[in-house]
Amino acid sequence: MDSLLIKGGIPLHGEVTISGAKNAVLPIMAATLLTGDPCVIRRVPDLSDVRFMGQILTSLGATVAFDGDSVRIQAAKIKPHGDYELIRKMRGSICILGPLIGRQHRAKVSMPGGCVIGARPIDLHLKGLRALGVKFTMSEGYVCARAPRLMGTELFLGGRSGPTVLGTANVMMAATLADGVTVIESAACEPEVTDLAKFLVAMGAKIEGAGSPTITITGVKELHGAEHEVVPDRIEAATFAIAAAATKGEVKLLGARPEHLHAVLDKLREAGVKIERNGNSLTVKRTGQVKPVDITTLPYAGFPTDVQAQMMSLMLLAPGISIITERVFESRFMHVPELGRLGADVAIEGPSAIVKGGKPLSGAPVMASDLRASAALVIAGMVAKGSTQVNRIYHLDRGYEKIDAKLAALGARIQRVKGE
C-alpha cells in the first residue's frame, strides 16, 4: 500500500483549486439511473470512490465514460442488481437504491461498507422508502426491495444523530417518479443534497425546499437527460484552510464557497486565523499563536463531523485546553492514538476529546484509520519536527483529489511512497 512521507516545518503558500464534492457527485452519478437518456456531469473529482461508482453503474448496465473532469453516463437498459463485491466496499453505493426503485420498482443491493467511524445503519433509508410503498427483505448480505407502485406521502427522516444525508437523497430520488406528492420532514440540509436536487430538477423533477428541513417532491412520469456541474467540496476547502493555519502559512482557496463553511470559518477566526473573501476565493492566513477553541460537531449547518479530526490537529498547536465533542458518529476519535505517536496529549472522555495543546510534535510512522483521520495526520505531520510517514493512504485517495500534489505545489515537503 502507498504511504506519504512528510517533512514538517514548512509553511504553505500559494493557490489551490478546490475540486468537486465527493459527497455530491456520488448520488448525482447514481441519479442518472432514473433515465435512459445520456447525462453529463462536470467538475468530477478523480477519486477512487468516484471510479468505484462508475464501475457499479457499469455493472448495472450503464455506459460510463470519463473525460478529464467530466463523465458521460447513459443507463439505457439497466439491471436491478449490481456487483456485490463492488457495492459492499463503499458506503456511498447505497445511493443506487432509491433510483433503482424509482425507475424499476425493484432492487437488490448489498449492504455497503466504507470508513470505520461507527455505526451508520440504513434504517432511515428503509423507513423512508417503506413510506413510499417499498417492501424489503434481507438475504445473504443483500437488501432486496420491491414496490409495484410508489405513492407519495408525508414522512419523517430524523434520527438519533439528526437527519440522514444519503437517506434523504435516496427517498428524494425515488419520489421523483412516484405518484402524487412526497413531503420529507427533517430532511438533511447539506449543500450536497441541494446539489442533487438541482440535478434532478434539470432532469425534469419537481422539487421544492431543498436545503431546508422540509423537501416537497411532486412525482412526474419520467425524467430526461441533463448536464450539471458539481458543487465545490466544502470539506476539502476546510482541510486546506486548516492546513494553511496549522503551518502558519497563507493560502488562497480558489472556488471555495464561504456560504457552505460558516461554522468552520467561525471557529478558525476564533482560533486567531485571518480569513478574507475575494470574489470566488478565500484567503486563509495565520501570523500569531493559535488559540484554543471548543467544538461540537452537528448536522449542517453546524460544525461538520468530517472536519473534526483536522481541527483537532490545529488545536494541538494551541497552548491550553480545547474540548472537541462528537455528536454525529460515536467512533470518530480513532485518529487520537496515532496523533499520540507524534506527541499529542489528547484524552477521550465519553463523546469528547480533551486536547492539551501547545506541546511540540515530532515525526513518526502513523496509520490512517479513515478518510478524515488521514487528513488530520497529514496536517499534523506538516507541523511536526522531522519526518512523518502516513501509511494506508488509500483512505485519502477515496476523498481528496491528488492531495499530495496539491500540497507539494503549496510548498509542502511531501512525497508518495509506492507500496507493494
Return the C-alpha torsion angle 400, 62, 188, 116, nearest 10: -50
Reading phi first (left if > 0) and then psi (alpha if -120 to 50, else beta), residue 322 is in beta
Reading the block at residue 272, the C-alpha cell is 486567531
Torsion sign over Cα 17, 21, 25, 28: negative
Catalytic residue among 39, 95, 115, 189: 115
Longest distance between any two alpha carbons in the chain, whole Å: 63
How far apart, in whole angstroms, are the C-alpha atoms of residue 128 and residue 413? 48
115 is catalytic: yes
Q: Is the peptide bond before 301 cis (omega within 30 degrees of 0)?
A: yes
- Reference 129, options 171, 99, 182; nearest CA is 171
- The angle, 0 to 180 degrees and rounded to 10, between the axes of the packed helices 123-131 and 97-104 is 20
Alpha carbon 401 to chain centroid, angstroms: 12
* Residues noted as catalytic: 115
